[in-house]
Structure 1
Amino acid sequence: MWPAARCIGSQFPRSPMNQTSPLPLPAADAASARPGLLQALAALLAGRDLRQGADALAVELAQLLQCTQVALALRGAGPGDLALAGSSLPTELDPRHDSAVALLAAMHEAADQGQAISWPAAASLGAAGPVAQAQRQLAGTGAAVSVPLVTDGRIVGVVTLVRGERPFDAAEIRFAEDAALLCAPVLELQRRLALPWHGRMREWARGDKGSRKTRPLLFAGVALAAALLAVPVPWRVSAPAKLEGSVQRAVVAATDGFLQQSNVRPGDRVREGQVLAELASQDLELERRRRESEVQHHETSYRAAQARYDRTLMVASQAKAAEASAMLSLAEAQLQRAKVTAPFDGIVIKGDLTQTLGAPVQRGEVLMVLAPDEGYRLMLEVDETDIRALSPGQRGDLVLSAQPGTVLPFIIRRIVPVATAADGRNFFEVEAQLQGKPAALRPGLSGVAKVETGTRSIASLLTYRAWNWLRVAWWRLTP
């Protein structure tokens, strides 16, 4: 890193001439130079980015000090490096051109010595003055002066001014130093803002005055964060969960027919034997009456044959009466099954028939699904990446969306060995049993379940999914 400048304006070492000679601007006192300084700062701030601001500052200084060329260079990637940031010339300087090489050499000369250097040099400095070889080569038959840009005690760049035969006097150099002192913080801030994130990290690692103060604290914070990431914490696998009845019974249509009446809807509690729905029974009633009539007819024929002692007619009539009686029993059973009843006390969880009254139903068609009031099972949808951590007997906790303030414990009973694909992911169904007899539960409630699977470090919990994905992706890409 360049040595910190001892002074800028009043901080740079000056000859006695610099301390007494006024700046040859329109006004003679030092306060009259302030408008010029403000103009230079305003030109810098008017730029939309570092390049435009530096060019505008260079043009403004060239006009104020009547220079043929003004260039600015700021600290580069490495310590001591300079990179051209702005120029008063309309064309961009090529760093490989001889003129740009001479310009950068003059800037390095001022930066290495940590003070403003001019050619021709002030006569009072004599042999003890700074080395100005590069300034002399840059000036040629004219005059040149290079002033370091200093902020927070660090040299962050250099501004170089070149003009024709008239040399720079002490007042003009003092004005250039004051302008550099005023604009250096703004230029450094714009340069930092223009850096990419890795450039900022590289500068921090290089260690300037500010980072040297904060680096121990940052290192301590990083060490503390690393220690915290290594702390083992309980690892719980989270999965969506749904509450189901321990037993689910499908209520089906016992015969073909038309839906005539529905007495319950999903969510209603029913008792065993309660009529849930009714099918149209007019045809079945006619069939029953026809079979009754046939039974009576064959019984009459049997009695008549018995009175005549006609054994052949008796046997035939008896057989036909038995057949008609069987068909009558079938008709009565079908008529009875036209009323769909509940097989046990429970709750209707599926099957709203109120919107399909009058629609035809077929024998065996599922009309409703019932679940018992007590006794529930919990079904977890565990992602395939977490299923290997689960086994029967593990404990967990459930929070339902309907009861967010209540935690329900459960135990895993069974893991279905077949994966299910849904919603763009693969998961395994895991059956669990709730502990105790929680109240106010209904089949179909959903929530989030967490299964205790041991301990892992915080870092592992935060990265294991990404690490597993990377391993699979790498395996897929490698030949």
Structure 2
Amino acid sequence: MNVTALHQPKFQSTTGNVSLQELAAASELGPNFWQHYLIAGAHALGASMALLLEKDATRGVWRAVMKYPQRSSNLTEFAETLLLGAEQSQAIGQPIESVLDTGQRLRMLPLAVGPSSHQTGAVLALWLPYPAQESVLETAFEHIFIALPEQVGRNSSGQTVSGDVRLANDTLMRLTHDVCMQDRFLKAAYHLCNVLVTKLGAERVSLGIMLRGRIRLSAVSQSADFDRRAAIARDIVDAMEEACDQSRAVAFPDSEEGRVVNRAHRIFSESHGNRAVLSLPFEGRKGLFGVVFIEQKEQPVSTDELVRLRHLLAALGPFLDRIYAADRIFFLRWIHAASEGARFLLGPRQIAAKLGVLTLAASLITASLIEIDHKVGAKATLRSDELSVISVPFDGFLASVHTDLGEHVSQGQRLVTLDQRELLQEETIALADVVRYRREVEKARAVRELANMQIASAQQAQAEAKLELVRFKLANSEILAPRNGIVVEGELRNNLGSPVRQGEPLLKVASTHTLFIELEIRQDTVPLLNTGDIGQASLVGHPDKKIEFEIERIDPVAEVRDNANVFLAKANILGNNQSWWRPGMGGNAKINAGKHPIIWVMTRRTINFLREFFWL
């Protein structure tokens, strides 16, 4: 390539500011457009100087076309850097940046079209402050200014597409601004999806982010509460990961069928209404960060819209990455806040802050020295030492029930009656058999038939045994209370007439005179307790009334209750039983675990968690 010295700009720059909307609406790429384009680019991106270069198609050399401001420094000292930067930027199609000896950044933005029809490339050079200030808006403006001449060129040639209406420059700028104004990642993600689904006329827009090599669906347009386990959500994630694996936009239907793998997109489209779908990956601060997934029934995303979406996501990707990290990694915010607080406190005039720190230090010292009674919480339940299970004495049918659940019963009180009708019939039959066999014995004795007499005698004994069994069942068909107590289990009134089998439990009667408290102690507090410790329990029915107790025994083996390991302890009640107490009543208990410093009480669980988490 022949390299010649840079010529002075051909066109003279004019003064005055023009909005991006007016630039985008320009009818042609004339000198007036390029003058205002250069001025707007310098002002929007904060450049001290802007230069437009184009490459001559016939000679293959770069030349300066326009400069702003006109009376800025001479370009000779930057000639080599400009030529090399312009060539590299145009070759890779991406902005490049270098640091000048003057302490400024020279940023080169490649353009698809230039001022002259006989050029093969154009570059916008900007002199920016150094060091660079990380700004999402600056990146967004860069992408907008790169695409702006190409859009105006299409307008002038009558090639305007629907994307210019649906994703105009002012729409992209407003969307970029609104997203960057969000203080939470989810707010920004949902705002992006909701605006895109409206502007593109799409059915749904979804956003997924890359976490540990997998895509996690984070936001779905117009759906604040979605199920990630749903089939459609899994299909969306599969399509997103297909695009991420190829590091490029993937669509279905696609004009590049065969050159791009879009199997997951095709499956999604066929499974969910034959929609046109598009996955567009974008990068964050350090590589691939997320994917936008667009579903449309009509008017799929055009080539122009795809370019604009790429520019938009390239601008928003670092911001979304940063705000997501800020939401997720909380201890980094703490470190930053601590450093800012240290600078604030070390200032010469921060008297109130220093007094606050001294007060806090005094409070910490006091909390470390003063000891208080530490109480351990536990679940408490009233239990009975004497519990009688009343079971069915023989097979039969439930005839009547004479007690209800929770009712006090006395020893010998009738509780349940079994059906006696069949037993009475069996008693009559057995009694008739006894009489009949007795007569046969007497008859055989009269005629001296010893063998028949012995047979009849045995049959008589068998009939008498059967009669005795039937009368035993009749005597036990009324089930009586074995002791004084309260019925704690057994709701039988709804089962009248139903069959019951021998040994089947019917009722449970618990004594109210031998109650104790069963404690469920968490495994992290068991080491603090011993037998003989005193505590108080309050039941749900009367939380204002405290029950004094003393721990008698702590079981050595843990049990699983509510998906947690607990140790059961038996505690004797210190005092008289109350009439309103019932076995099974529950509540909470506080157990005295000795005296400990205030700071130990406040930080014990946190310190134990940190020791376990960090293996200290």
Name 2:591's counterpart in structure 1: 451
Name 1:420's counterpart in structure 2: 559
Instruction: Note the alpha carbon deviations across 1:130-166, whole angstroms, 9 max, x for none.
Output: xxxxxxxxxxxxxxxxxxxxxxxxxxxxxxxxxxxxx
AA matched with 1:215: K
Instruction: Note the alpha carbon deviations across 1:300-321, whole angstroms, 9 max, x for none.
Output: 2223334444444443333222
Question: Residue 377 of structure 2 contacts residue 591 of structure 2 at CA under 8 Å; is this kept in 1?
Answer: yes
277, 283, 287: which one aligns with 2:416: 277
Q: Which secondary structure does the structure 1 equivalent of 2:435 belong to?
A: helix
Q: 1:316 to 1:92 in 2, by over 3 A?
A: farther
Instruction: Note the alpha carbon deviations across 1:407-431, whole angstroms, 9 max, x for none.
Output: 2111222222222112121111111
Q: Which secondary structure does the structure 1 equivalent of 2:531 belong to?
A: coil
Choose 1 or 2 for highest CA Rg: 1
Name 2:538's counterpart in structure 1: 399
Name 2:308's counterpart in structure 1: none
Q: 1:261 to 1:221 in 2, by over 3 A?
A: same
Question: Residue 380 of structure 2 contacts residue 518 of structure 2 at CA under 8 Å; is this kept in 1?
Answer: yes
Written as runs of structure 1 = structure 2, the 5 A alignment for 1:68-467 is 94-96=129-131, 197-209=337-349, 211-440=350-579, 441-467=581-607
Structure 1: gaps (5+ residues) = 1-54, 59-67, 69-90, 98-194
CA distance in 1, matches of 2:416, 2:127: 90
AA matched with 1:467: I
Instruction: Note the alpha carbon deviations across 1:166-193, whole angstroms, 9 max, x for none.
Output: xxxxxxxxxxxxxxxxxxxxxxxxxxxx
CA shift, 1:276, in A, is 1.2
Q: 1:287 to 1:418 in 2, by over 3 A?
A: farther
Question: Residue 364 of structure 2 contacts residue 599 of structure 2 at CA under 8 Å; is this kept in 1?
Answer: no
Question: Residue 345 of structure 2 contacts residue 353 of structure 2 at CA under 8 Å; is this kept in 1?
Answer: no
Q: Which secondary structure does the structure 2 equivalent of 1:464 belong to?
A: helix
CA shift, 1:236, in A, is 2.0
CA distance in 2, matches of 1:377, 1:406: 16
CA distance in 2, matches of 1:358, 1:304: 45
CA distance in 2, matches of 1:259, 1:387: 47
CA distance in 2, matches of 1:385, 1:253: 44
Q: Which secondary structure does the structure 1 equivalent of 2:509 belong to?
A: strand
* Aligned positions, number: 295
CA distance in 2, matches of 1:374, 1:429: 22
Instruction: Note the alpha carbon deviations across 1:17-51, whole angstroms, 9 max, x for none.
Output: xxxxxxxxxxxxxxxxxxxxxxxxxxxxxxxxxxx
Q: 1:95 to 1:199 in 2, by over 3 A?
A: farther
C-alpha RMSD of the superposition: 3.0
Q: Which secondary structure does the structure 1 equivalent of 2:558 belong to?
A: strand
Q: Which secondary structure does the structure 2 equivalent of 1:295 belong to?
A: helix
Name 2:612's counterpart in structure 1: 472
Q: Which secondary structure does the structure 2 equivalent of 1:255 belong to?
A: coil
TM-score normalized by structure 1? 0.56
Q: Which secondary structure does the structure 2 equivalent of 1:284 belong to?
A: helix
Q: 1:355 to 1:223 in 2, by over 3 A?
A: same
Using the aligned pairs only, state the percent identity.
27
Instruction: Note the alpha carbon deviations across 1:200-246, whole angstroms, 9 max, x for none.
Output: 4133222241x134413431332124312442111222100100122
CA shift, 1:247, in A, is 0.7
Instruction: Identify the structure with bigger relative contact order (alpha carbons < 8 Å, sequence gap 6+).
Output: 1
Q: Which secondary structure does the structure 1 equivalent of 2:416 belong to?
A: strand
Written as runs of structure 1 = structure 2, the 5 A alignment for 1:9-24 is none
Q: Which secondary structure does the structure 2 equivalent of 1:251 belong to?
A: strand
AA matched with 1:402: G
CA distance in 2, matches of 1:314, 1:448: 76
Q: Which secondary structure does the structure 2 equivalent of 1:272 belong to?
A: coil
CA distance in 2, matches of 1:474, 1:216: 34
CA distance in 1, matches of 2:492, 2:503: 16
Instruction: Note the alpha carbon deviations across 1:78-126, whole angstroms, 9 max, x for none.
Output: xxxxxxxxxxxxx9952349xxxxxxxxxxxxxxxxxxxxxxxxxxxxx
Instruction: Note the alpha carbon deviations across 1:313-343, whole angstroms, 9 max, x for none.
Output: 4433332222211111111222232222211
TM-score normalized by structure 2? 0.44
Name 1:109's counterpart in structure 2: none
CA distance in 1, matches of 2:532, 2:338: 50
Q: 1:343 to 1:223 in 2, by over 3 A?
A: same
CA distance in 1, matches of 2:607, 2:382: 33
AA matched with 1:270: V
Structure 2: gaps (5+ residues) = 1-42, 47-70, 72-125, 133-334
Q: Which secondary structure does the structure 2 equivalent of 1:241 belong to?
A: strand
CA distance in 2, matches of 1:326, 1:92: 118
Name 1:104's counterpart in structure 2: none
